[in-house]
Chain A
């Protein structure tokens, strides 16, 4: 039992940190521009595909560096020549724009790379078990994923709270006009943040691609969950996104690892239902069975009891 618990924690950590890499960019962009970027997970997918193509010629590590850069530049272009123009038409237009962009990117990926799964592999350098515990191996690549995510989190945290750029960004979030009056180029800052946000999604794609498989549906699978995280954490709150990411990662992982379900509850209550009962699906439901949809349940609960999210400040 202990081994399951330890590995469930590690798995939850990997998923949670990966989700955070996506959610951090999304929430940063939201807090600056007030627009939910529906195409955010698509940039994650682009990261994986670019890295795959680069890795075919130059290996994994080159892909790790250049794919996020390409995605970031692409993101900056989208902001500069797409979002900024649409911005004048209001938030709804921006929302619809990013929504359409997500479809466009998915179709483009299918067009250029085809609809099949891509054979994107982790580097051989990391193809060994980091440690073996209770007969279970923990792959070194997963350790590497944790390492990268934590490095990025710390780096981002210092950049935002300690550096001059970070202070300007923070000021631009709350008082864009004042910052502009002080002589800073606020649109440039917006473009930069959008670029960095999408580049972070790109990094997530590069390191997740080999593990979660690289296929055109990868954005859709992860996209919805990232929104859930941003909303649960509180729109625009980086710390909230961090907590929510880990919470959801661990929640899912523990739910899968657990072996309890409605039958156990019924046993506890001393109830029993025939196997041909019309609601038999309900009586035999187990927690692992519904684990992947638990985040959405949590979302509903959070929205009912704390509409601003865990650490959200917005109240309008």
Chain B
């Protein structure tokens, strides 16, 4: 058998093309970010809406402008944890084996706590292959206090910070003489209850706590029996940290049973909730949140919302903090020219960043807690340029607290890895 003379030259040539191809792939390789939240099951509406927002933010702010780190695209990898701590562990293993080093997660503090301990354990055992937890919405203070970790960053004000503002607002209302607290029976619900009672006792000792109720999360079919208790307690207002279906059902029961008192909440808007409450909830429901609602302060953010609505007509920009979180991760990557979690974490510490709303927000280095202005908004159809659920109703911000006034003392001693 005679070999063709070209063959000896072919081999290195082939190798060279292969090599150059692979280095081209290297340059184009996307920056992959995991988004772990409930994408199926009872809480899917919040998770899928969050996923659409982070995907849109990645495309609109970065990918459409040529990507980040000199041309790399951001790829959001959805991981469905069904909002269960058990499933979270499984999805976390998946993230590890898929080499995903940044996990964005928000829903449920129980899940965030589970993820936090999984991440901490993994990072201790696998130096050099660390994973970064980006928490955009789980507000149990423990995550930046007793259980604070170098690998965890929170982009939402925690429950105590929010309740500080909320109780200030409640304390201003001199007609209020009694409050009923009801919440889901898990870490966040307990924090809301304990903190509300403590702060109201400090600020307005004359306000009586006429009820302090817990119910299993996602198990209650009908809230009317609870509302019956609220009515007979004679409460002037209700405070609740409920979210998802538990929030809608509770608010609807209160309204349907003719109880005309203010309801102070954390999560009573968007993803069908605003539409379901509709005209019946007008001026009754108030939310405490970061990132002001209507009127939207800047043209930049208005343009973002319009573009998002054009792409997702049935969804809203419900959690601008997801955009802030993504933007700040990218800023940290650009600053260090690296996608290594350690480098990102170091750059995020004490980063000051100007959001689409034109506000400078600060990621405190000692405990990785974000500080930005907080707002209380009312469910209404007046002055609402950007509504929710296409219902004509939306949030109007009526009480603002600047970032400096929301700062709480550091209560975290962190183990810092050395490099």
Range class of the B interface residue count: 35 or more
Distance A120 CA – B276 CA, assembled complex (angstroms): 7
Give the docked Cα–Cα distance between A252 and B225 (Å). 9
Name the B residues within 8 Å of A3 (CB-CB): 232
**Inter-subunit contact B215/A217 (CB<8 Å):** no
Q: Is A42 an interface residue (CB 8 A)?
A: no
List which B212-234 residues lie within 8 A (CB) of chain A.
213-216, 218-222, 224-226, 228-229, 231-232
Contacts of A215 in B (CB 8 A): 42, 45, 245, 248, 272
- Residues of B371-411 contacting chain A, CB below 8 A: 389, 391
Q: Mark each residue of chain A from 276 to 308: 1 if its CB lies under 8 Å from any CB of chain B, else 0.
A: 000000000010111111000000000000000
CB distance from A206 to the nearest CB of B (A): 16
Residue B71, interface by CB 8 Å: no
Whether B185 contacts A289 by the Cβ 8 Å rule is: yes
- Number of contacting residues on A, CB 8 A? 49
B residues near A142, Cβ cutoff 8 Å: 224
Say yes or no: is A115 at the interface (Cβ < 8 Å to chain B).
yes
Chain A neighbourhood of B229, CB < 8 A? 4, 256-257, 288
Interface centre among A110, A117, A252, A293 (most CB of B within 10 A): A117
**Chain B: which residue is nearest A132 at the CB level?**
B258
Check: B129 CB closer than 8 A to any chain A CB: no
Asked if B232 and A217 make an inter-chain contact with CB atoms under 8 angstroms apart, the answer reads no
Given A136-B257, A141-B256, A212-B221, decide whether A117 and B245 contact each other with a Cβ distance below 8 A.
yes
Check: A47 CB closer than 8 A to any chain B CB: no
Question: Which of A7-15, A76-84, A151-159 is the contact stretch?
Answer: A7-15
In the complex, chain A residues whose CB is within 8 Å of the CB of B42: 215-217, 220-221
Is A147 interfacial (CB 8 A cutoff)?
no
Flag if B45 contacts A115 (CB, 8 Å).
yes
The A-contacting residues of B in range 24-66, CB under 8 angstroms, are: 40-45, 48-49
Q: Give the docked Cα–Cα distance between A4 and B253 (Å).
A: 16
Contacts of B41 in A (CB 8 A): 217, 220
B314 contact set on A, CB distance < 8 A: 114, 116
Q: For A221, what are the chain B residues with a Cβ–Cβ distance below 8 Å? A: 42, 218-219, 221, 245
Nearest-neighbour CB distance to chain B for A226, whole angstroms, equals 11
CB closest chain-B residue, reference A107: B40
Q: Chain A residues with Cβ under 8 A from B258's Cβ? A: 129, 137, 139
User: Is A121 interfacial (CB-CB < 8 Å)?
Assistant: yes
Q: Are A119 and B221 in contact (CB under 8 A)?
A: no
Q: Are B214's CB and A289's CB within 8 A?
A: yes
- Minimum CB–CB distance for B193 against chain A, Å: 12
Contact status B222-A15, CB under 8 Å = yes
B275 in the interface (beta carbon within 8 A): yes
B386 to A: closest C-beta gap in Å: 17
A292 contacts B272, C-beta separation under 8 Å:
no
Instruction: Report B-chain residues with C-beta under 8 Å of the C-beta of A122.
Output: 256
A95-117: which residues lie under 8 A (CB-CB) from chain B? 107, 110, 114-117
Measured between alpha carbons, how far is A7 from B213 in the docked complex, in Å?
18
Q: Is A225 within 8 A of B226, CB to CB?
A: no
Residues of A within 8 A of B252 (CB): 211, 213
CB distance from B385 to the nearest CB of A (A): 21
CB closest residue in chain A, given B217: A292
B48 close to A115 (CB less than 8 A): yes
Q: Are B221 and A136 in contact (CB under 8 A)?
A: no
**Which residue in chain A gives the minimum CB-CB distance to B252?**
A213
Q: In the bound complex, do residue B276 and residue A213 qualify as a contact, i.e. CB atoms below 8 Å apart? A: yes
Q: Report yes or no: A4 in contact with B228, Cβ–Cβ below 8 A.
A: yes
User: Please, could you name 25 A-B residue pairs with CB atoms under 8 Å apart, sorted by A?
Assistant: A3-B232, A8-B228, A107-B40, A114-B45, A114-B314, A115-B44, A115-B49, A117-B245, A117-B248, A119-B275, A119-B278, A120-B276, A137-B257, A211-B224, A211-B253, A215-B42, A215-B245, A217-B218, A220-B42, A221-B218, A257-B228, A288-B226, A288-B229, A291-B215, A292-B216
A-B CB proximity, top 7 nearest? A217-B42, A117-B272, A116-B272, A137-B258, A119-B275, A115-B45, A256-B225
Further pairs besides A115-B48, A117-B273, A292-B216: 14, Cβ < 8 Å: A11-B225, A116-B45, A117-B245, A117-B248, A118-B272, A118-B276, A136-B232, A141-B256, A211-B253, A212-B222, A216-B45, A221-B42, A289-B213, A289-B216
